[in-house]
Structure 1
Amino acid sequence: MKISGVIGQLRTTDLEGSIRFYTTRVGMELAFRHQDFYAGIRAGNHVFHLKHVDELDPSIAYTRQGEHFHLYFETDDAFALAESLKDRGVNLVQDVCETPWGTREFVVEDDQGHTLYFGEAL
Structure 2
Amino acid sequence: MAISGVVTQLRTTDMASSIRFYTEKRGLAVEFNYQDFYTGVRAGSQIFHLKLVDEKDPSISFIEDGGHFHLYLETKGVEDFAAQLKAKNVPLVKDVHETPWRTREIVIHDDQGHTLYLGEPL
Q: TM-score range by the shorter chain?
A: over 0.9
Aligned to 1:105: 105
Aligned to 2:82: 82
**d(CA) in 2 for partners of 1:53 and 1:10?**
10
1:56 aligns with 2:56: yes
Aligned-pair CA distance for 1:23: 0.4
Q: Secondary structure at the match of 1:51?
A: strand
Aligned to 1:66: 66
**d(CA) in 2 for partners of 1:47 and 1:29?**
10
Aligned to 1:9: 9
Letter in 2 for 1:102: R
Q: Secondary structure at the match of 1:22?
A: helix
Letter in 2 for 1:39: T
Structure 1 length-normalised TM: 0.98
Structure 2 length-normalised TM: 0.98
Q: Secondary structure at the match of 1:32?
A: strand
**d(CA) in 2 for partners of 1:38 and 1:75?**
25
Q: Which region of structure 1 is more displaced relative to structure 2, 80-89 or 47-56? A: 80-89
Letter in 2 for 1:112: Q
Q: Which region of structure 1 is more displaced relative to structure 2, 76-85 or 41-50? A: 76-85
Q: Secondary structure at the match of 2:60?
A: helix
Per-residue CA deviations over 1:78-114 (Å, capped at 9, x if unaligned) read 1011111111121100000011110011100000000
Q: State the percentage of identical aligned residues.
A: 60
Letter in 2 for 1:120: E
Letter in 2 for 1:5: G
**d(CA) in 1 for partners of 2:105 and 2:10?**
21
**d(CA) in 2 for partners of 1:38 and 1:13?**
11
- Structure 2 unaligned blocks of 5 or more: none
Q: Secondary structure at the match of 1:89?
A: coil
Q: CA RMSD in A?
A: 0.6
